[in-house]
Amino acid sequence: MGERIGVLVKGRILSAIAFVGVFFAAQALLANPKIDPYLELGFDDGRAKALSISAPFPSVPSSDDAQDDPQVEVFIKVSDVDAARGVVSLAGGSVRVVSGQVMTALIPASRLGMVADAEEVLFIEASKPIGLSNDLAGAEIGLSEVVQATGLPASYTGDGVIIGIVDTGVDYAHPDFLDAEGRSRVLAIWDQSRTGGTAPVEIDDGYGSECLLDSISSGQCPLMDVDGHGTHVSGIAAGGDEKYRGVAPGAHLVVVKYDARLSLESGYADTLFSTKICEAAYYVFAKAAQYGVPAVVNLSLGTHLGAHDGTSLFEQCLAGLVQGQAGRALVAAAGNEYSGDRDYTGIHAGFDPQGEIKATNFVIMKKTGDRVYYIDLWGALGSDLSVGLAMHKGAPAGSPVQKSDMVEKGDKVFGSFDNGKISYLINAIESKSTLNGKQHVGIRIMLGSSVDNPMSYSFDLMVGGTGGFDAWVFPDKPARTIQFTSIEGDIGGEYKYVTGDRVKSIAMPATSPDVIAVAAYATRTSWSAEGYNWQFNGQELGAILNFSSAGPTADPAYTGQKPEISAPGGMIASSLSSGTAVSGQVLSDDGVHYMQAGTSMSAPFVSGAIALMFQNNKNFTQGDVEGFLTKSAYADSFTGSVPNDRWGAGKLDLLKAMEAAVNGVASGDFAAQGSLSMPSENSGGKAGCALATTAATGASAPALVLTMAIALATLSIRRRRS
């Protein structure tokens, strides 16, 4: 699209006047085709209810009595940005970021329908929950050859480039992020969850707390990375340690931290919401524009609530930040949701019922903190499906114990199983999605407090009618929380079973055609620590990690090949945050590095590689760097014929990719790209930074440079005494 993005002026008066009439003609929230039906899963009978932090959709009280009308975080697609901004303002909401025709906003829940009725508003999408998705690895991808300028005109370190890390924060004082003079290479940190301090001026109606270079360099920034995931990811992309070297150790970092505190009840990270991810990427690119340098943003995170076809406003918002823009790129972890288990097939199922009622079986394996689970079902174009739920005590052995009515297009049903112990909502009101034209059904299941062992039940997703569908279960964190099973055929019941499958597990936003999705393979499967030899069980050296998510997307013709490429993902040694305690079995001898595994680790290898390319030529676009990466990737006996749905184009070859970039032709113009609205000169953003801006403008004149990590507690690691 290449449209100008930025913080725009207030809406026009004429549109505001027109909105007043709509404002007092209150429409029901339910069944509005311009409102994402996900929003109804958090509201019953059209009335807003207070939502806890672990609820499926975020809410921020707008006043002391806002428990009855929380503000909801949403994406809005609009035909007229200025007019829509005025509509949101009159509804008592606020716009934060604009990317093309998509904006992120806060809107009082009771006024969602009123905003949707405005002519300039095309669709309102709920913010979705997001989960967290060196030495040996560097040698694997050819990092030392790039450092030594083997076959290249110069050594590349990422000098003059910003790498944005949207994650759990960073230990900015870690020696891996200091330059040769001992100065921090972290330019800014925005903690979206922290109250107090100063909010970033780049975001309208700003929130959270920001540290700029002065407080970071003096050690006065109070922001910490207590989880450690973000520091580890940052070290892979840009760490400066001689042994555990990152890909681009000369790059500067801009870090956005979200709340990564763990729920004591469920063991998985409290949800992060998709609107905040687009706002985070916007913030990074705004900082890069302030310094006049290119930037790549790493997203080691993802969600499985959505159509997985590139059409969500989450994906469109991110796409608007890089489309037609030189010197900007987005990279995301593919996800860790592939299942090779014999009995449990993973998070995706789909089939064509061909006029009958058929079913796919699923189980809830772990209790979450809020005891809420979802199935997100999207029919194929032209489908006409009815959907229902059934419950068994234990595995299916004939007809179900109880089942719901079959819910037709445009309807919904509430109900319960086992004397009210398990409640459900099947919401099929979205007969034809405004965004992609597909039939959409959302199913919510809630376990009562008396259900101690969810594995004592199993459930059937019943689908009738005509046309295929894709369905994903959620939450996908921690691993194997809820899974489809391999049960299939006629087992003497009322319908035939179709097994779940092992495809389409790439997480959003890696499904976007404008985001590079990265799969992960093993570069270390054994190591010594604490007097033992440790083994990374179930993984073969050089092979794809057995949980690395698989493509294709739900619409590969639109999104293209997913994943695009694979990179090292296990076990990867990188920077350890001083605020994080880890097991000795994964701690390096120096005490300041440790090992993790997942596509969260593979993504920053690619982000670092793009930083090197941008150092060579800041006129490269997202399409340019993706082409260099995929055309230079290599195949071996593990990848088989490429491209394919596990490996993408093959394994990352950094040296070959840089050779392609040095000899490549840029399709963009960094100087002519659309600008972002920047803070005033007295905001403190520039003082004290000697960021290099020597990136070459031509290929012949180079300059000198984790939805998803697997929790350590869940890694299958075996020890043997030395």
634 and 669 together in one domain: yes
Model confidence at 695, pLDDT cuts 50, 70, 90, reads very low
Mention every residue, 6+ apart, whose C-beta is less than 8 A from residue 16. 86, 87, 89, 90
Residue 719 lies in a domain: no
Domain identity same for 437 and 464: yes
- pLDDT: is 342 or 529 the higher one? 342
Q: Residue 540 falls within a domain, yes or no?
A: yes
Closest C-alpha among 556, 312, 310 to residue 433: 312
Instruction: Count Cα neighbours of 702 within 13 Å in the Cβ-side half-sphere.
Output: 25
Q: For position 112, which CATH number holds?
A: 3.30.70
Which H or E run contains 384? strand 384-393
Per-residue pLDDT at 40: 67
Local confidence band at 71 (pLDDT 50, 70, 90 cut-offs): confident
pLDDT digits (tens, 9 = 90+) for 427-466: 999 999 999 999 999 999 999 999 999 999 999 999 999 9
**Model confidence at 589, in pLDDT bands (50, 70, 90)?**
confident
What band does 133 get if pLDDT is binned at 50, 70 and 90? low
3-class SS of residue 692: coil
Q: Which of 77, 103, 127 is the last residue of a domain?
A: 127
Sign of CA dihedral 343, 348, 352, 358: positive
Is residue 702 in a domain? no
Q: Last residue of some domain: 491, 523, 544?
A: 491
With a pLDDT cut of 90, the percent of the chain lying above it is 63
**Across 32-41, 193-202, 292-301, 668-677, least confident range:** 668-677
* 331 & 248 share domain: yes
Query: How would DSSP label each residue in 554-579?
Result: S-HHHH-SSS-EEEEEESEEEEPPTT
Tell me the pLDDT band of 158, cut-offs 50, 70 and 90.
Answer: very high
**How distant, in Å, are the alpha carbons of 163, 287, 432, 554, 575 from that of 378?**
35, 38, 10, 9, 40
Note the pLDDT tens digit of each residue in 593-644: 998 999 999 999 999 999 999 999 999 999 999 999 999 999 999 999 999 9
According to DSSP, residue 226 is labeled S
Tell me the pTM: 0.84
Q: How many domains does the chain have?
A: 3
Q: Is residue 599 part of a domain?
A: yes
Quick check: helix, strand or coil at residue 472? strand
Q: In this structure, what token pair is assigned to residue 316? A: 């469109």
Question: Which amino acid, residue 249?
Answer: P
Residue owning tokens 């376990």: 447
Do 142 and 86 reside in the same domain of the chain? no
pLDDT at 559 over 80: yes
Q: Is the pLDDT of residue 202 over 70?
A: yes
Q: What residue numbers bound the domain in which 392 lies?
A: 344-491
Residue 277: φ, ψ to 5°: -70, -45
Q: What is the CATH number of the domain that holds 629?
A: 3.40.50.200
Q: Are residues 349 and 485 in the same domain?
A: yes
Provide the mean pLDDT of the chain: 82
Mapping DSSP onto H, E and C, the string for 139-163 reads HHHCHHHHHCCCCCCCCCCCCCCEE
Q: Is 440 in the same domain as 585?
A: no
CATH number at residue 459: 2.60.120.1290
Beta strands 440-447 and 372-379, pairing class: antiparallel
On whether residue 716 sits in a domain, the answer given is no
Tell me, what's the pLDDT at 478?
Answer: 63
Q: Which of 102-116, 160-174, 311-325, 610-624 has the lowest mean pLDDT?
A: 102-116
* Cis before 556? omega within 30: no
Task: Return the SS3 of 432.
Answer: coil
481 domain-assigned: yes
- pLDDT at 263 exceeding the cut of 60: no
Question: Is residue 324 located within the same domain as residue 357?
Answer: no
710, part of any domain = no
Query: Domain check: are 328 and 353 in the same one?
Result: no
Distance CA(577)–CA(587), nearest Å, equals 12
Other CB atoms within a 10 A radius of the CB of residue 43 amount to: 19
Residues 310, 356: one domain? Answer: no
Clarify whether residues 189 and 267 are in a common domain: yes
Whole-number pLDDT of residue 55: 32
Percentages helix, strand, coil for the chain (3-state, rounded to 5) are 20, 30, 50
pLDDT, residue 534, reads 82
In a domain, 721, yes or no: no
- CA proximity to 631, closest of 603, 611, 608, 659: 659
Q: What is the pLDDT of residue 103?
A: 92
For residues 252 and 164, give the distance between their C-alpha atoms in angstroms, rounded to a whole number. 9
pLDDT of residue 535: 83
* H or E element that contains 74: strand 71-78
Q: Is residue 501's pLDDT more than 70? A: yes
Going 315 to 317 to 319 to 321, the CA torsion angle's sign is negative
Weakest mean pLDDT among 230-239, 257-266, 458-467, 475-484: 257-266
Of 479, 449, 543, nearest to 714 (Cα)?
479
Query: Are 366 and 418 found together in one domain?
Result: yes
Instruction: Summarize pLDDT for 140-154 with one digit per residue, the tens.
Output: 666 667 767 677 888
**Is residue 483 located within the same domain as residue 514?**
no
Domain edge (last residue) among 426, 458, 491: 491
